[in-house]
């Protein structure tokens, strides 16, 4: 294998190797060995892992680019990665979600991070309709009558209920941003595009939230693989809608990975074996303040390196 490149200007999420480690220090050292000096601490990082990570942060061994709400990990399904979160009907649950996001912001400030990545919410269904749709997408295709029927049912409920959830999310984020500003934390909130079709926000909803919070420390966190997946399912046109965000300076951060079929978190260019399809997102990566690789565990070291080399050369040409 070629010498590992130092990946200046890029961060790497602990999503990739967290399950393989009981020691936070070992987890971070493995990421550093890939050539990354910055790390995003994802929502599964718990207090036990943090115990050996904090001395590394304080000693300058690693830079924390961002933390991912809810941080550190809590054992509560109401506030896990796929949650109604800031849009709960129940006021007490919404208040709890706000307090947890403030807690994540406090940790981000303590660790010198620039941002907190947040999954804002979703339109709730009584079952996982996204999983049912993806099964139909794979087995029968997007244009099949079964898929189109279920998609219409999902979209009808989503369109009906999304506005109240967007309004609640905006209000809750406003409270968190006020806390950040009053406390002088100097960090930003990144609202992430999501991986399930009933989840908030679409790019249009993200724009509505950011417009409602004009002047607040909030930006779009564009998860590229999620955007690809939602475009393939039919929710929005990720490739072109996001370009306006990039041109207007509204992209706070990106999660860099690609979707193969409708399975996400693979190495760009490598697992799809498509040498150009990901190129449309390079200007968005270039425009983002924070650029974070977020890869699944099966991605191998040499695949990560090869993917980075390809993208790095393309980014150099784009800059020229």
C-alpha torsion sign, points 224, 229, 230, 231:
positive
| pLDDT tops 60 at residue 305 | yes
Across the range 168-174, mean pLDDT stands at 98
DSSP category for residue 41: E
Note the pLDDT tens digit of each residue in 11-41. Answer: 999 999 999 999 999 999 999 999 999 999 9
Please tell me the predicted confidence (pLDDT) of residue 260: 97
Across the range 131-147, mean pLDDT stands at 98
How is the chain split into domains, by residue range?
A: 11-319
| pLDDT tops 70 at residue 1 | no
Portion of the chain with pLDDT greater than 90, in percent: 98
Identify which of 199, 198, 196 has the alpha carbon closest to the alpha carbon of residue 153.
198
Note the pLDDT tens digit of each residue in 36-58. Answer: 999 999 999 999 999 999 999 99
Across the range 63-88, mean pLDDT stands at 97
Across the range 136-157, mean pLDDT stands at 98
Please tell me the predicted confidence (pLDDT) of residue 150: 98
Across the range 291-300, mean pLDDT stands at 98
Per-position DSSP letters for 218-277, written without gaps between them: EEEEEEHHHHHHHHHHTS--HHHHHHHHHHTT-EEEEEE-EEETTEEEEPTTTSS--SSG
Beta-carbon contacts of residue 183 (< 8 Å; ≥ 6 apart): 109
Cα of 293 vs its chain's centroid, Å: 10
Where are the alpha helices (H) located in the chain, listed in sequence order?
24-32, 47-58, 91-110, 129-139, 145-183, 203-212, 224-233, 238-247, 282-287, 301-319
Task: Quote the crossing angle between the two packed helices 91-110 and 145-183, to the nearest 10°.
Answer: 60
| pLDDT tops 60 at residue 185 | yes
Portion of the chain with pLDDT greater than 70, in percent: 99
Q: State yes or no: cis peptide before 201, omega within 30 of 0.
A: yes
Please tell me the predicted confidence (pLDDT) of residue 319: 87
Cα of 138 vs its chain's centroid, Å: 24
Note the pLDDT tens digit of each residue in 79-99. Answer: 999 999 999 999 999 999 999
Evaluate if pTM is beyond 0.85.
yes
Please tell me the predicted confidence (pLDDT) of residue 320: 81
| pLDDT tops 80 at residue 2 | no
Instruction: Report the relative pairing of strands 199-200 and 121-122 from DSSP bridges.
Output: antiparallel
Cβ neighbours around 182 below 10 Å, total: 8
Identify which of 213, 209, 199 has the alpha carbon closest to the alpha carbon of residue 223.
199
Q: How far apart are alpha carbons 158 and 160 in whole angstroms? A: 5
Please tell me the predicted confidence (pLDDT) of residue 206: 98
18, 45 Cβ separation under 8 angstroms: yes
In CATH terms, 11-319 corresponds, of 3.90.228.20, 2.40.240.20, 3.20.20.150, 3.40.50.150, to 3.20.20.150
Give the helix/strand (H/E) hosting 90.
none
């Amino acid at each position: 294998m070629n010498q590992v490149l130092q990946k200046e200007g890029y961060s790497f999420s602990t999503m990739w190797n967290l399950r393989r480690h009981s020691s936070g220090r070992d987890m971070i050292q493995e990421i550093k060995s890939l050539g990354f000096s910055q790390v995003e601490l994802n929502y599964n990082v718990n207090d036990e892992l943090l115990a050996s990570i904090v001395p590394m942060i304080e000693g300058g061994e690693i830079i924390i680019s961002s933390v991912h709400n809810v941080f550190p990990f809590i054992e509560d399904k109401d506030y896990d990665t796929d949650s109604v979160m800031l849009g709960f009907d129940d006021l007490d649950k919404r208040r709890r979600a706000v307090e947890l996001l403030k807690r994540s912001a406090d940790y981000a400030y303590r660790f010198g991070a620039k941002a907190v990545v947040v999954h804002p919410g979703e339109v709730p269904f009584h079952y996982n309709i996204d999983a049912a749709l993806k099964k139909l997408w794979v087995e029968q295709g997007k244009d099949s009558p079964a898929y189109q029927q279920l998609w219409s049912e999902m979209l009808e409920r989503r369109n009906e209920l999304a506005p109240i959830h967007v309004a609640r999310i905006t209000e809750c984020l406003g409270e968190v941003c006020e806390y950040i500003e009053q406390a002088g934390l100097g960090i930003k909130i990144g609202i992430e595009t999501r991986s399930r079709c009933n989840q908030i926000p679409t790019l249009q909803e993200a724009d509505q939230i950011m417009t409602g919070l004009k002047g607040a420390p909030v930006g779009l966190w564009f998860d590229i693989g999620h955007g690809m997946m939602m475009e393939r399912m039919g929710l929005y046109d990720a490739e072109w809608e996001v370009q306006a965000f990039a041109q207007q300076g509204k992209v706070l951060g990106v999660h860099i990975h690609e979707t193969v079929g409708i399975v996400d978190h693979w190495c760009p260019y490598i697992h799809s074996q498509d040498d150009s399809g990901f190129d449309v997102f390079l200007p968005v990566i270039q425009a983002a303040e924070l650029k974070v690789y977020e890869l699944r565990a099966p991605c191998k070291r040499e695949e990560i390196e090869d993917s980075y080399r390809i993208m790095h050369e393309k980014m150099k040409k784009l800059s020229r």
